[in-house]
C-alpha cells in the first residue's frame, strides 16, 4: 500500500471509531502543482486525503483552534511534529486531544524546481527513488533530490519523532544531504555592519501583511503585540524602524520555539528570507541552552522556564 | 497614431533618456519577486511570466504621511504633506494591473471631495504596459474583462515579438513617448507577429464569463465560506497583492509635542478591521471575512460601481499559502442550485 493509501485507511478508522472529530490533512489543490489543507470529518471524505511532494503546509497551525471542537488528528511531517510538541508543552493543546499522524516523506517540492515547466501542462507530481517526477503531456521528467526538495528537507534526518500516535512512511534515520545551518554559517561570516545592511534591505521590502505571523504555528496569541490599536511603541507604518521592530520582536517571541518549518518564508509575498532569522535564533538557543525545540517532551520551554544557572552572556 | 516598433537593445537607451525628465520605474527581480524600482536600481527583468507585484503601491503607498503637527502651549502648527510634484513613468505594467486603476479611481472619487493625493499621483504618472506572452497558471483576466485586446488606463502598450517590441499609443502622452528616436514605424510582418503572440497567450486563458450578472445572486449562506474559514490563515496576502484593493487605516505617530498622522494599508481579512469601539465585530470569524472578500470583488462592486472589482490577475491565487482559489470559489457560487433544493432558488 502506498503512504497515501495507508493514511486514508487510518483516517477512516479514526473517524468511524469516533476517536477524532476531524482529520486535518492535505487534499488536491486547484491545480496539480498544488495541494491544500483539508478537514476531513467523515470516513467517506477520507478518500480526499493525498500525500505527494506538493504537501507543503504546516497543518499544526490549525491545532489550537481545531481542538476546541473536539479531538483532532493531524498529518505532520518530522519538522511539524516538533511544533505539536511545543504546542503541548505551552498548554495550547492537550496531548490527549491530538492524534499525531507522523509522516516521513522523501521530501517536499521546492516551487522553484518547477520554473522550467509549463505549469498548466503538469498533470501529476510524485516521488521517485531519486527525486521527484513531474508528469506532463510530454511524459515524466525526474528532478533529482537536491534540486527538487526544499532546503529544510535536504537537511532532514527523519529522526524519531518525540511523539507519534501513528507513523507512516520510512522512518529509518537518513544522512542529511545538506547541513541544516549551512546558510546561517554563511550569514555569520558577515560583519555586524553587513548584517545590519542586509536586514535593512530585506525589511525595506516588508509590507506588513503579517502572513509570516499567520502562517507560523508558534504565533497563536489572541492579540499580537502589533495589533494593539494606537500604541506608541509599535507603529503600523512600513518605515524602516517600524519594520525592524516588528520582525525583531517576532523573532524574540519565537526564539526557542521555531522549528524551521519555513512557512513564514513561503508565505511572504516579498521574498524576504525569514527562515534564515528563525534558524539563526535556533542556533543561538542551541549554543546557549543546549536544546532544540520539539525534540523532547521533557525539555522545559527555553523562555518559559527560569533556571538560576541560565546562561546570561553580557557583551563586552 | 500608427503602430511602432523598438528593438529590444534600444529599450535601455530610451528609458534612460526619459529618466532625464522624470522618474522611471521598471520591473526588477529581488528574492524571486518582481517589483517596480527606479531605473538603475537592480537589473531590469522583462521576462517575468504572469503578474508581478501590482502597481497599487505607487498610487496608494503602503505608508503615507497626511500631515505633521507640533504645538507649544496653546499654539499648534499644522503642516500638510506636499502634493505629489514629480512626474513618473511606470514601464512594464501588466494589462490587468493598469485596468485595475480604473476601479480604484472609482473608489477614491466616490464621494466629494475626491482623494487628491491619489489623483495627483495618477495625473503625474505615465503608464507603459507590457502585454503578457505567457500568462501564469493563475491568470484569468479574460474571464472578467478583455484587457489584453482592449487595454485600459495605459498610455502606451508594448508586445514582445522576439528581438523587438511592437508599440501602440492609446493617449496623447503615449503618442509623445512613441515619437522618440528609438521607435520606427511597424511593418505588416510585425503586426502579424503580434497577432500570433496574442493568440498564443489567449489560448492559455479562459473564455469570458458572465460574472457581472451571476454575482448578483451569490448565496450569502453558501457552505463554501465555512469551508474556506477552516483553512484560511487570515494572512492578508490576497488583499495586499491585489491591484484593486484600496482599504487603509489611519494612525498617529506622536512623540511628545510633535507628531504626524499617516495612513497605511489595511485589509478586511484582518480580524480587527471591523472591530468597533464598543467591542462588537460584525465579521467575527473567517467565514464572514472570506465571504466579504469574494462578495466585495464581485457582487458589491457591480452593485456600487457597475464594474467588477476583480481583474483576474491571479495573484491572490498563486500567493495564497493554502491554495484558496477565488476563481474556483466563484465557479462554485455560480453553479446552478441542485433541483432538490426547495422552491426558492435565490
Residues A66 and A25 both lie in one domain: yes
Q: What residues in A contact B206, CB-CB < 8 Å? A: none
Residues B164 and B217 both lie in one domain: no
Residues A34 and A172 both lie in one domain: yes
Cis peptide before B188 (omega within 30 of 0): no
Q: Which domain holds residue A259?
A: 179-316
Distance CA A227, CA A234 (A): 9
Q: What is the number of domains present in chain B? A: 2
Averaged pLDDT of chain A? 93
> Has residue A141 been placed in a domain?
no
Residues A197 and A279 both lie in one domain: yes
What band does B9 get if pLDDT is binned at 50, 70 and 90?
Answer: very high
> CB distance A207–B319 less than 8 Å?
no
Closest approach of A62 to chain B, Cα-based (Å): 8
B265 contacts chain A (CB < 8 A): yes
Mean per-residue pLDDT, A292-315? 84
Residues B74 and B118 both lie in one domain: yes
pLDDT of residue B345: 42
Which member of A33, A214, A235 has the closest CB to residue B251?
A: A235
Which member of B240, B265, B322 has the closest CB to residue A57?
A: B322
Residues A92 and A234 both lie in one domain: no
pLDDT of residue A86: 95
> CB distance A120–B322 less than 8 Å?
no
> Has residue A111 been placed in a domain?
no
Residues B15 and B151 both lie in one domain: yes
**For chain A, percent of residues with pLDDT exceeding 90:** 74
Residues B221 and B306 both lie in one domain: yes
Q: Which domain holds residue B134?
A: 4-208
> Has residue A73 been placed in a domain?
yes
| Residue in B49, B201, B233, B328 to test binding to A, most A beta-carbons within 10 Å | B233
Closest approach of B278 to chain A, Cα-based (Å): 14
Q: Residue A185 above 70 pLDDT?
A: yes
> CB distance A267–B253 less than 8 Å?
no
Residues B124 and B244 both lie in one domain: no
State the pairing for strand pair B88-93/B23-30. parallel
Mean per-residue pLDDT, A182-206? 94
> Has residue B193 been placed in a domain?
yes
Look up the pTM and report it: 0.92
Residues B190 and B74 both lie in one domain: yes
pLDDT digits (tens, 9 = 90+) for B141-173: 999 999 999 999 999 999 999 999 999 999 999
> Has residue B50 been placed in a domain?
yes
> Has residue B322 been placed in a domain?
yes
What band does A195 get if pLDDT is binned at 50, 70 and 90?
Answer: very high
Q: What is the number of domains present in chain A? A: 2
> Has residue A146 been placed in a domain?
no
Mean per-residue pLDDT, B191-200? 96
Locate the chain A residue with the closest alpha carbon to B235: A211
Q: Which of B18-32, B106-120, B327-341 has the highest mean pLDDT?
A: B106-120
pLDDT of residue A170: 87
pLDDT digits (tens, 9 = 90+) for B74-113: 999 999 988 878 899 999 999 999 999 999 999 999 999 9
Residues A101 and A219 both lie in one domain: no
**Per the structure block, which three cell numbers stand in for B252?**
498617529
Instruction: Tell me which of B175, B208, B241 is where a domain ends.
Output: B208
Which member of A208, A210, A232 has the closest CB to residue B254?
A: A232
Strand partners, A127: A132
**For chain B, percent of residues with pLDDT exceeding 90:** 83
Instruction: Tell me which of A121, A147, A177 is where a domain ends.
Output: A177
Mean per-residue pLDDT, B124-140? 94
Chain A residues with CB-CB distance to B under 8 A?
A: 29-31, 33-39, 57, 61-62, 112, 119-120, 202, 205, 207-211, 213-215, 227, 229-230, 232, 235-239, 263, 266-267, 269-273
- Complex ipTM > 0.95: no
Residues near B333 by Cβ (< 8 Å), separated by ≥ 6? B214, B215, B218, B219, B222, B224, B294
Instruction: Tell me which of B167, B187, B208 is where a domain ends.
Output: B208
> Has residue A52 been placed in a domain?
yes
Q: Residue B218 above 80 pLDDT?
A: yes
CA A116 remoteness from chain centre? 26
pLDDT of residue A316: 55
What band does A159 get if pLDDT is binned at 50, 70 and 90?
Answer: confident
Mean per-residue pLDDT, A112-126? 94
Residues B166 and B297 both lie in one domain: no
Residues A273 and A164 both lie in one domain: no
pLDDT digits (tens, 9 = 90+) for B30-68: 877 888 999 988 888 888 766 667 899 899 999 999 999
Residues A70 and A203 both lie in one domain: no
Closest approach of B172 to chain A, Cα-based (Å): 34
Residues B238 and B303 both lie in one domain: yes
> Has residue B346 been placed in a domain?
no
> Has residue A142 been placed in a domain?
no
B202 contacts chain A (CB < 8 A): no
pLDDT digits (tens, 9 = 90+) for A88-108: 999 999 999 999 999 999 999
Residues A36 and A53 both lie in one domain: yes
Residues B16 and B149 both lie in one domain: yes
Residues A2 and A71 both lie in one domain: yes
Q: Residue B241 above 90 pLDDT?
A: yes
DSSP conformation letters of A108-171: -B-GGGGTTS-GGGEEEEEEETTEEEEEETTEEEEEEHHHHB-HHHHT---PPPS--SEEEE--
Residues A164 and A31 both lie in one domain: yes
pLDDT of residue A158: 83
pLDDT of residue B344: 47
> Has residue B173 been placed in a domain?
yes
Amino acid at each position: 500500500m502506498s503512504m497515501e493509501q495507508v493514511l486514508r485507511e487510518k483516517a477512516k478508522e479514526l473517524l468511524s471509531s469516533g476517536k477524532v472529530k476531524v482529520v486535518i490533512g492535505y487534499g488536491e489543490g486547484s491545480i496539480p502543482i498544488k495541494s491544500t489543507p483539508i478537514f476531513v470529518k467523515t470516513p467517506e471524505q477520507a478518500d480526499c486525503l493525498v500525500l505527494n511532494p506538493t504537501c507543503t503546509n504546516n497543518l499544526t497551525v490549525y491545532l489550537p483552534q481545531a481542538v476546541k471542537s473536539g479531538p483532532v488528528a493531524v498529518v505532520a511531517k518530522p519538522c511539524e511534529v516538533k511544533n505539536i510538541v511545543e504546542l503541548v508543552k505551552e498548554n495550547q493543546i492537550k496531548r490527549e486531544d491530538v492524534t499525531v499522524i507522523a509522516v516521513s516523506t522523501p521530501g517536499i517540492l521546492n516551487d522553484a524546481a518547477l520554473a522550467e515547466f509549463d505549469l498548466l501542462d503538469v498533470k501529476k507530481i510524485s516521488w521517485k527513488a531519486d527525486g521527484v517526477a513531474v508528469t506532463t503531456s510530454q511524459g515524466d521528467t525526474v528532478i533529482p533530490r537536491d534540486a527538487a526538495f526544499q532546503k529544510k528537507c535536504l537537511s532532514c534526518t527523519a529522526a524519531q519523532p518525540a511523539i507519534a500516535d501513528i507513523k507512516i512512511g520510512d522512518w529509518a534515520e537518513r544522512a542529511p544531504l545538506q547541513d541544516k545551518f549551512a546558510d546561517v554559517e554563511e550569514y555569520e561570516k558577515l560583519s555586524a555592519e553587513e548584517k545590519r545592511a542586509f536586514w535593512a534591505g530585506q525589511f525595506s521590502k516588508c509590507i506588513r501583511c503579517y502572513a509570516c505571523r499567520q502562517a507560523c504555528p508558534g504565533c497563536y496569541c489572541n492579540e499580537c503585540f502589533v495589533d494593539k490599536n494606537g500604541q506608541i511603541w509599535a507603529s503600523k507604518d512600513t518605515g524602516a524602524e517600524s519594520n525592524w521592530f516588528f520582525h525583531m520582536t517576532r523573532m524574540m517571541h519565537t526564539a526557542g520555539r521555531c522549528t524551521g518549518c519555513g512557512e513564514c518564508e513561503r508565505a511572504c509575498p516579498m521574498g524576504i528570507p525569514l527562515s534564515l532569522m528563525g534558524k539563526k535564533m535556533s542556533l543561538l538557543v542551541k549554543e546557549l541552552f543546549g536544546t532544540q525545540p520539539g525534540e523532547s517532551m521533557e525539555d522545559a520551554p527555553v523562555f518559559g522556564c527560569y533556571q538560576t544557572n541560565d546562561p546570561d552572556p553580557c557583551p563586552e | 497614431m500608427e503602430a511602432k516598433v523598438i528593438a529590444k537593445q534600444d529599450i535601455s537607451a530610451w528609458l534612460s533618456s526619459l529618466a532625464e525628465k522624470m522618474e522611471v520605474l521598471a520591473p526588477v527581480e529581488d528574492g524571486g519577486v518582481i517589483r517596480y524600482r527606479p531605473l538603475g536600481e537592480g537589473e531590469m527583468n522583462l521576462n517575468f511570466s504572469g503578474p508581478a507585484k501590482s502597481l497599487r503601491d505607487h498610487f496608494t503607498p503602503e505608508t503615507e504621511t497626511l500631515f505633521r503637527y507640533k504645538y507649544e502651549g496653546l499654539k499648534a502648527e499644522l503642516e500638510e504633506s506636499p502634493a505629489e510634484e514629480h512626474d513618473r513613468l511606470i514601464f512594464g505594467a501588466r494589462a490587468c494591473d493598469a485596468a485595475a486603476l480604473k476601479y480604484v479611481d472609482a473608489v477614491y472619487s466616490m464621494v466629494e471631495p475626491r482623494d487628491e493625493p491619489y489623483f495627483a499621483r495618477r495625473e503625474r504618472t505615465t503608464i507603459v504596459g507590457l502585454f503578457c506572452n505567457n500568462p501564469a497558471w493563475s491568470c484569468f483576466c479574460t474571464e472578467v474583462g478583455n484587457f489584453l485586446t482592449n487595454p485600459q488606463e495605459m498610455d502606451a502598450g508594448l508586445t514582445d515579438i522576439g528581438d523587438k517590441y511592437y508599440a501602440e499609443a492609446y493617449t496623447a502622452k503615449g503618442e509623445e513617448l512613441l515619437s522618440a528616436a528609438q521607435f520606427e514605424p511597424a511593418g505588416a510582418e510585425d503586426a502579424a507577429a503580434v497577432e500570433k503572440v496574442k493568440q498564443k497567450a489567449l489560448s492559455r486563458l479562459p473564455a469570458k464569463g458572465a460574472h457581472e450578472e451571476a454575482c448578483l445572486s451569490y448565496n450569502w449562506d453558501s457552505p463554501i465560506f465555512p469551508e474556506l474559514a477552516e483553512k484560511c490563515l487570515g494572512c492578508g496576502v490576497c488583499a495586499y497583492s491585489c491591484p484593486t484593493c484600496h482599504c487603509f487605516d489611519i494612525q498617529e505617530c506622536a512623540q511628545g509635542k510633535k507628531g504626524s498622522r499617516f495612513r497605511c494599508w489595511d485589509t478586511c481579512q484582518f480580524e480587527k478591521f471591523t472591530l468597533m469601539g464598543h467591542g462588537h465585530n460584525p465579521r467575527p470569524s473567517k467565514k464572514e471575512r472570506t465571504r466579504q472578500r469574494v462578495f466585495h470583488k464581485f457582487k458589491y462592486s457591480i452593485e456600487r460601481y457597475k464594474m467588477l472589482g476583480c481583474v483576474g490577475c491571479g495573484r491572490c491565487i498563486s500567493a495564497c499559502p493554502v491554495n484558496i482559489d477565488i476563481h474556483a470559489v466563484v465557479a462554485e457560487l455560480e453553479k446552478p442550485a441542485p433541483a432538490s433544493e426547495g422552491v426558492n432558488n435565490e
